[in-house]
Amino acid sequence: MKPLLAACLLWLCLPFVAHAAQLRIDTGHGVQDWSSAQLLARADAREVAIPIDVAYRRAMRYRAVPLRALLPGLAKGEHLQFVARDGFVAEMPAGVLLNRQGAQAWLAVEDPARPWPALAAKADSAGPFYLVWTNPQAAQVGPEQWPYQLASIRVLAGADERFPAIVPHADAGADVRRGFEVFKRTCFACHTMNGEGDAQLGPDLNLPYNPTEYLRADLLRGFIRNPQSLRRWPQARMSGFPTQASLSDADLDAVLAYLRYMAKHKATP
């Protein structure tokens, strides 16, 4: 009887074990591993309303902690990397996260006892940890700066320093330089360039071929706006940038200029 009771108790505990999660934060001054329970129990945790959620594309409410409270000693000139479980990597300057007026970053924490809904076309939710923003338009925070299913956050050198093969030469035009900044904010979260980068979701955008080398400009522009416009594929992972709010026409022009430039500046990884 006792073995049967123990087996039943173990079975009842399995859902909670499956949802147990930890987030690793490395600020360069030491590594801190936070469990869901620890974060939910913090005194500064509160309910946050998100009118237009990037992951769920509707209004959502979360139990969340101010992100800057989890980053002691972070300086404005530093740089952070957010790594998701699926290989998505968001790169952000610390200044955006340290802002105390306008846009504010929050670490939303999924409660194992009250799990979030599954994402569209996926079996799991945006949890266990999700970077969400209140008033994101105040700092021009784009959809790539809402990483979900977070596994780690760390302070490290900026992408230019870590990955020199993605940086345009000093004589590159202003449109290319602007496109480079847009690329880092958007494309670099999923793709590598010249074999450099930490993202593991999408293919390299220069090796062996740059998309500007095999797609007409109008098709490439349409693909970035809506990947399904070029090739219908239910399992496609790229969500696209359908509106001016997510990627302006000027920024799209600039990132295409950067891609065309890089097609002439391939580097062997």
* Interval 243-262 mean pLDDT: 88
Q: Which domain holds residue 103?
A: 21-155
Q: Say whether both 200 and 219 belong to one domain.
A: yes
pLDDT number for residue 235: 55
**pLDDT per position as a tens digit, 158-208:** 999 999 999 999 999 999 999 999 999 889 988 999 999 988 888 999 999
Instruction: Specify the DSSP element, H or E, that contains 80.
Output: strand 79-84
Q: Say whether both 33 and 93 belong to one domain.
A: yes
- Choose one of 137, 155, 173: the last residue of a domain: 155
Does 197 reside within a domain?
yes
Percent of residues, the chain, with pLDDT higher than 90: 64
What span, in angstroms and rounded, lies between the C-alpha atoms of 209 and 96?
34
Q: 238 pLDDT exceeds 60? A: yes
pLDDT number for residue 189: 86
Does 16 reside within a domain?
no
What span, in angstroms and rounded, lies between the C-alpha atoms of 232 and 250?
27
Does 43 reside within a domain?
yes
Count the alpha carbons within 13 Å of 204 in the hemisphere toward its beta carbon. Answer: 17
Q: Say whether both 94 and 173 belong to one domain.
A: no
pLDDT class for 232, splitting at 50, 70, 90? Answer: low
Q: Which residue has the higher pLDDT, 137 or 129?
A: 129
**pLDDT per position as a tens digit, 75-115:** 989 999 999 998 899 999 998 888 777 899 999 999 999 99
Q: How many domains does the chain have?
A: 2
Q: Say whether both 35 and 108 belong to one domain.
A: yes
Q: Say whether both 245 and 126 belong to one domain.
A: no
Q: What is the DSSP string of 10-54?
A: HHHHHHHHHH--EEEEE-SS-EEEEEHHHHHTSTT-EEEEESS-T
* CATH, residue 77: 3.90.420.10
pLDDT number for residue 2: 43
Mean per-residue pLDDT of the chain: 87
- Choose one of 121, 136, 155: the last residue of a domain: 155
Q: Which residue has the higher pLDDT, 75 or 122?
A: 75
CA distances from 55 to 66, 143, 202 (A): 19, 9, 18
Q: Say whether both 98 and 168 belong to one domain.
A: no
Q: Say whether both 31 and 123 belong to one domain.
A: yes
Q: 26 pLDDT exceeds 80? A: yes
Does 5 reside within a domain?
no
What span, in angstroms and rounded, lies between the C-alpha atoms of 255 and 233?
24
- Choose one of 107, 135, 155: the last residue of a domain: 155
Does 268 reside within a domain?
no
Does 238 reside within a domain?
yes
Q: Are the beta carbons of 115 and 125 closer than 8 angstroms?
A: yes
